[in-house]
Structure 1
């Protein structure tokens, strides 16, 4: 892929150091050297928002409820409040397990893809996979009406998109995927053990992350010789339009679609 995906640096668990996360000089150096700057930024943002949630739960529970009511993803409000597709990706339950498990997972796989793809292209993959998680919830709601009022939040949809991307790339280059398979297996089995996990968002993120990555490594033959950056722009735009179309199509079945919010 025009050297965008190469055989170097595939060890899992090689996340950014804490010093890199908080030193401006080291952040700049890490950015130039292909370090996990975006991965670290997402982790910091998620943790800071989680700390705000904890503080509000203790000192201002009404404010927490108000915040969550406008930021968690609920399919019935997805089209009228489009920002919840994005905001829900940075929210986590006010318990340590949810945010800790998701951030450890991101810490383990994010740097691999960010180094291979580049900072902005990795962020594009992450965001589109997260949006795919929301659309996955909407698709499920079409077939299960109770899903329209099911709230979901967390980074898991985006993370499953990264899982799909790593699997496709590793298979393409013939790399060892055993350690990655363990992480994926744990995440796939989690909904069977822990109640209340939105597996529909996992599925949506996995499909979108896998689709975008497959297009990048294979895709339209006429585009295979173009630059990786150009292919990412073209395919990411196409995937975004697909997500928008599916969301709008699903919303035609929204029980509140005839109302003005």
Structure 2
């Protein structure tokens, strides 16, 4: 039986591991071909280990095991020219682009970094990177005339002020994720006439290498006692990547054909507390 995304092509940034890989596999299970993008190198401002070439190769292996096509490229989402080249090359190979998952993101909590550097690095990737990704893909989507769906990966921290600590990197993270809600709404208006829907997803903590690492655990442990409650309402410390992927697989399918401009939490009740 054909999947609900049969014949679609999905561009996914941050696809080498974590949520990005999970999204690639989940959409491939529904029949989509994949354009996978990841920087695959360490950024100086990021203290935890980032994805590698080997991680991206594993994403390729898992998608191809589902008998779907995938074009994987190492590119920096801060480089819009590189993203445009990726889209042009991948579209030539796969026949178009119907879905965009602007998923790449970083967290910076190194107190040794100058404040302006920490703030700027996060915003460059998490906000400018998303803007670049969407603007690299939308001209093709519009020209195709077959509609489409865009999902921006935000966070529960894009819908709440809980967790503020005065750390410049954390400030940049919260600011960038809030900004994605604004982009979701304005882009939903911009692209509606082309039948391109735009939504954002807002996970609570997700069990990925970005969260589950010594640097992040030390940062969380250093928060002052009596601070904001960062726990979920449901009895689970984190959700899994596939929980977010399942929500996205619905959002980009025809089952959600009239859903646009929405900020969708996948948060185990975090925002209801």
Question: TM-score, with normalisation over the residues of structure 2?
Answer: 0.31
Q: Which has the larger radius of gyration?
A: 1
TM-score by length of structure 1 reads 0.32
